[in-house]
Every structure is written in structure tokens, then in C-alpha cells.
Amino acid sequence: MARTDDNRRDRERTDARLDSPKGMRTRVLPTRRRGRGDTFGRATEGIARAMGTPWFLVGLTLFCVVWMGYNTLAPRAWQFDSAAIGFTALTLVLSLQASYAAPLILLAQNRQDDRDRVQFEQDRQRAERNLADTEYLAREVVALRLAMRDMASKDFIRAEIRSLLEELDRRDAEDAGFADEPGTTARG
């Protein structure tokens, strides 16, 4: 029983590491806690991403303009935030929004940093593999060049054929001269 708990804890520790790609981690049965954390992390990234858009700024500006316009132009009995005291409720709402926005943005940045760290590690491993492949190919090219030096070049083959042809011509000339002598045969 204790050994099973130790194995499970080891697998959970390995699975929780962020320095290895998701597909390379060992899988354990998914837990609700892990799913919620991931959902929360995705939600914080979505909120942070939405807060960084021009549409969020336009929407927030319109919200503030409508708030101030309503509390300035509406009958006094319907107003809920007085312009005379500087729109205190609006200030509190914007402060609350900012107090939640900052940690959500930091959480999203931390998740991005974790992804960047994993991506950096994968890029480094890929670069190492590429370097090893390049070095291997360079060694192979050098071996081929050395083997090519041992092979006969076109010029060498041409020179050998010329010398063989010259030697054949010389032998033919000798044979022809020997055949011209009376009482002998061409090759004898």
C-alpha cells in the first residue's frame, strides 16, 4: 500500500513538471484539481488577452462615459453616484477592476514564461540535433572527397588512353616495319 502511494506521488511530481513537453510527461489518471487549475489558467490568459485589446479600452471608456453621463444627467433621485463627490463608486469599481487585472495578467505571464521555457528547451535540443547532423554530414563529405582523390579523374583517364594509343601506334609502326623485311611474317 505504501509503495503504491510512493509510486503515485513520484508520477504526480514528474507529471507536474513544466520543463518537459506535455506529450513527454507520464500520464496519470486526470484529477479534478489539475483540470481546474488548467481551466483557471486558460481563463486568466483569456482575460489578460482581452484586456490588452483596443476593444477593451473602447468598452471601458464607453462604460465610464455612460456611468458619468447617467449620474450627471439623470434626475437626482435616480442617480447612484454623485458628480459632486467625484464619482466615488466609479472610482471604487475601476480600482476593483485594476486590483483583479494585475494578478490575472501576472498569472498569464507566468504561464507564458513556462511555455517559453519549454519551447526554449525544445529549440535547444533541436539545435543540438541539427548540429550533430551537420557535423555527421560534413564528415561524410570529407570522406567522399578523400575517396574521390583516390579515384581516377577525367584528365588522368584521358592521359592514360593517349599513352596507350601512342603505344599501340608505335607497336603498329614497329610491326609494319618488321613486316616489310623480306622473308618474315608480321608478328613473328
Query: What number of CA atoms fall less than 13 Å from residue 29's CA on the CB side?
Result: 2
Q: pLDDT value at position 178?
A: 73
Res. 6 pLDDT band, cuts 50 70 90 = low
For cell 471604487, the residue is: 92
* Beta carbons within 8 Å of 70's beta carbon, 6+ residues apart: 79
Mean pLDDT of all residues in 96-114: 91
* Beta carbons within 8 Å of 184's beta carbon, 6+ residues apart: 178
| 62 grid coordinates | 464607453
Helix, strand, coil in percent for the chain, rounding step 5: 80, 0, 20
CA pair distance 8, 18, nearest whole angstrom:
18
For cell 464607453, the residue is: 62
Q: Give the tens place of pLDDT for each residue, 49-68.
A: 888 899 999 999 999 999 99
Q: pLDDT value at position 147?
A: 81
Q: pLDDT value at position 188?
A: 45
